[in-house]
Structure 1
């Protein structure tokens, strides 16, 4: 059965961090439908003033933050002592788990283009040890398609394997399609699948989807994605539905109000970080 569009969300312009202009697509109003994806922000600018203010040091608990920088660069620094720069097609994967502080600096470039999304952690893994991992271009396989290419950012595609997520299964593809070109993706029937049109409009399940739009798909074993008369760049994200309670407060996502209150109490008392060094 072919997957069709169940819901679509068009992003809106806003600011976050120290004054970074971005397009917020998913947030606290889309938690249930896009489970386990909590938030999705898109970055697309040729003006460095839109983003060089960056995101100063801030806390997270209970989630993983996954950033894909297709154009431009992003430098990560955290309370575990990690400092790393990704860019030009690379991925930053941070497990906040029990608690981490991190900052993201975004240097000026010809163009900044990419996304960051928050992947919820299962209740049993909310307090997992924090960790950081980058996925460099040397680890990302580019698979030639009949009508374009697919960059395997994480998970598996037709027997080919990329970086494997530790806590939730995640297939993450960056799909580039030539004008008027279709492709059919086989999907596991009960996986939670969403698509985001990063650049250009595209037909998803036969329906025209405008650029910078996230769509949640119905269940099924395949979906067709097709470019219009212009090329398209589409992100495909597939994971496991958690169907767990979500209690969200700023940068912290837990399962109960008590857990959320404790997280903020830990921040106040200076007991938020475990296995970390302080800045």
Structure 2
């Protein structure tokens, strides 16, 4: 079987977003073709609440899904559809903005804030779909235990264990590997998928190289993927079917054409941005 290797390594760069949240933007606008169907990923790793306490006050989204996953920490969430929730240690919030939603994410002071937010693109046919929301607590995420390794399956199928979160068009998977010490893992992958990994903590051996904390790689096509661990570590692996559709991106809104993007901002100005009520994913 063809082994996946690195196509492009990435690290990202320090940035600030929301009302003044310090973060690492690992990839965004300039790398869309490499990561398709994923648009962006922000990485949070801080033991200083001043880095994130100002949070992300109410703001709009349209045309995307946001996936917020915390290994450690706590974030309060609220949106214009009446949903409220807390993302805490080992929990995930998966929100499909669809035709439009306003929401806020407010991190709470924690001993250690460690996690990511990923933006997943919606296909053209579902850009204006009904918004949806799902809070997934840690105890509801399937756990696979292997030698010196724990694997949380948020989405997709990992060796027969299926995650609860589903997106019908790009069929993404999201795995969180926690190495407890020396460990090795190999799993099968669809060669048509774009797949990347990122080291949240510790380090990992991949493709004959050592990737330290806050680094990762997008991989070449292949039928399987292998990692080696020499110490405790947290690594996430995400993959999905590329959409290969045009993108018109303006801040928190991602559409297919500039007129669609213009209409979205006109809707915001006119108070007509929220088109329909939401549902659960």
Q: Distance in 2 between matches of 1:71 and 1:232?
A: 14
Q: Distance in 2 between matches of 1:222 and 1:94?
A: 29
For the 8 Å contact 2:100–2:275, the answer to whether it is kept is yes
Partner of 2:96: 95
For the 8 Å contact 2:130–2:277, the answer to whether it is kept is no
Q: Which runs of 5+ in 1 are unaligned?
A: none
Q: 2:199 aligns with which of 197, 200, 203?
A: 197
Q: Distance in 2 between matches of 1:165 and 1:205?
A: 29
Partner of 1:267: 268
Q: 2:228 aligns with which of 226, 229, 249?
A: 226
Give 1:233 shift: 1.0
Q: Distance in 2 between matches of 1:231 and 1:109?
A: 22
Q: Distance in 1 between matches of 2:88 and 2:165?
A: 20
Q: Distance in 2 between matches of 1:103 and 1:246?
A: 24
Greater Cα offset, 171-180 or 36-45:
171-180
Q: Distance in 2 between matches of 1:259 and 1:214?
A: 33
For the 8 Å contact 1:68–1:114, the answer to whether it is kept is yes
Give 1:268 shift: 1.0
Report the 3-state secondary structure (helix = DSSP H, G, I; strand = E; otherwise coil) of the residue aligned with 2:264. helix
For the 8 Å contact 2:158–2:187, the answer to whether it is kept is no
Q: Distance in 2 between matches of 1:205 and 1:120?
A: 28
For the 8 Å contact 2:194–2:242, the answer to whether it is kept is yes
Q: Distance in 2 between matches of 1:207 and 1:67?
A: 28
Partner of 2:147: 146
Greater Cα offset, 126-135 or 158-167:
158-167
For the 8 Å contact 2:20–2:52, the answer to whether it is kept is yes
Q: Distance in 1 between matches of 2:216 and 2:130?
A: 31
Q: Distance in 1 between matches of 2:101 and 2:216?
A: 28
Partner of 1:255: 256
When normalised by structure 2's length, the TM-score is 0.95
When normalised by structure 1's length, the TM-score is 0.96
Q: Distance in 1 between matches of 2:103 and 2:96?
A: 11
Summarize the Cα distance change of 1:42–1:53 in structure 2 as closer, same or farther, 3 Å threshold. same
Aligned positions, number: 276
Partner of 1:73: 74
In the TM superposition, what whole-angstrom CA distance separates every residue of 1:209-232 from its partner, at most 9, and x where no partner exists? 22112311000111111124x222
Q: Which runs of 5+ in 2 are unaligned?
A: none
Partner of 1:45: 46
Partner of 1:170: 172
For the 8 Å contact 1:177–1:226, the answer to whether it is kept is no
1:20-31 equivalences under 5 Å are 20-31=21-32
Give 1:276 shift: 4.5
Greater Cα offset, 198-207 or 97-106:
198-207
Q: Distance in 2 between matches of 1:213 and 1:246?
A: 26
Q: Distance in 2 between matches of 1:29 and 1:210?
A: 23
Q: Distance in 1 between matches of 2:247 and 2:209?
A: 31
